[in-house]
């Protein structure tokens, strides 16, 4: 395969992606990367001010995007978001299920409301968005790609205070496999990225504490990941380079799980 054919397969021109949780952090990074590779991006989140910041970043390099309000717990809200994106760009063929939250409490102190909030956002939201997305493509008899954002928390225990988060991400990883099996006959690929500890504005202060520094020492590569180190996995799963992949969970963690 020549360099030009590799780049051609990576190109996302004329593709449209909807990214949930696009207002900040990894969602903002994913949206920016997809746009730079030529995709139209539907930026979906509830924080309108932060969403506008992501939109401006993309428009600064002449990328094409629109913002949509979305509640991933509401099928009606999800359908409206997809409808708005399709009215602007036509068929949406890539879905990045990135929206997620964590409640840092021991299981003894996690309320049922806390539990429901995490499970509803991290798991139910993935299911609901995927369902709307897949139904749209099945009706149109078009192929598509779903990329779920799981976590190494699906495989290992991350401390004493993330039981609901770990449970939700384990479920997301297995939901990825079950949907991949079901959707394969419709030519809809379903894969996931499972990041380890990635440095973001949200966790920067914690990793500067003594406890945070001790956690970094448990990673075989002895450092945190950078958001851009997820770009390769994202583009592989969104482009034609990953055309024979479905049901895969790509771990990007500096060796954390094997350590």
> At 249, phi and psi to the nearest 5?
-115, 110
Alpha-helix runs per DSSP H in 91-162: 112-119, 125-140
Low-confidence ranges of the chain (pLDDT < 70): 1, 4
Q: pTM of the predicted model, to two decimals?
A: 0.96
The per-residue pLDDT for 203 is 86
The per-residue pLDDT for 1 is 62
- Which residue in the list 89, 165, 183, 197 is annotated as catalytic? 165
183 is catalytic: no
Domain range summary for the chain, segments of one domain joined by +:
3-198+227-251
Contact 144, 123 (CB under 8 A): no
CATH of domain 3-198+227-251: 3.40.50.720
Residues 6+ apart with CB under 8 A from 7: none
The per-residue pLDDT for 161 is 85
230: which 2 tokens? 């997820």
Contact 97, 131 (CB under 8 A): no
Give me the DSSP letters along 166-186: HHHHHHHHHHHHHHHHHHGGG
């Amino acid at each position: 395969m020549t360099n030009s054919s590799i780049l051609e397969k990576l190109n996302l021109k004329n593709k449209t992606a909807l990214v949930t949780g696009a207002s900040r952090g990894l969602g903002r990074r994913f949206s920016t990367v997809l746009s730079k590779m030529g995709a139209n991006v539907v930026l979906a989140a509830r924080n309108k001010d932060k969403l506008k910041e992501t939109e401006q970043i993309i428009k600064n390099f002449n990328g094409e995007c629109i913002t949509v309000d979305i509640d991933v717990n509401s099928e009606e809200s999800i359908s409206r978001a997809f409808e708005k994106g399709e009215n602007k760009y036509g068929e949406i063929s890539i879905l990045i299920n990135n929206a997620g939250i964590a409640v840092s409490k021991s299981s003894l102190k996690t309320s049922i409301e806390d539990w429901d909030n995490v499970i509803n956002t991290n798991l139910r939201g993935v299911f609901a968005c995927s369902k709307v997305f897949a139904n749209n493509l099945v009706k149109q008899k078009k192929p598509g790609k779903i990329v779920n954002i799981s976590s190494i928390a699906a495989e290992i225990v991350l401390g004493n205070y993330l039981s609901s988060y770990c449970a939700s991400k384990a479920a997301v990883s297995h939901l990825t496999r079950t949907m991949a099996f079901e959707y394969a006959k419709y030519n809809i690929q379903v894969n996931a990225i499972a990041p380890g500890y990635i440095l973001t504005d949200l966790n920067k202060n914690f990793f500067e504490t003594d406890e945070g520094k001790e956690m970094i020492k448990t990673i075989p590569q002895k450092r945190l990941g950078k958001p851009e180190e997820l770009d390769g996995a994202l583009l592989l799963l969104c482009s034609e380079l990953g055309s024979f992949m479905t049901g895969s969970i790509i771990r990007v963690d500096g060796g954390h799980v094997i350590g």
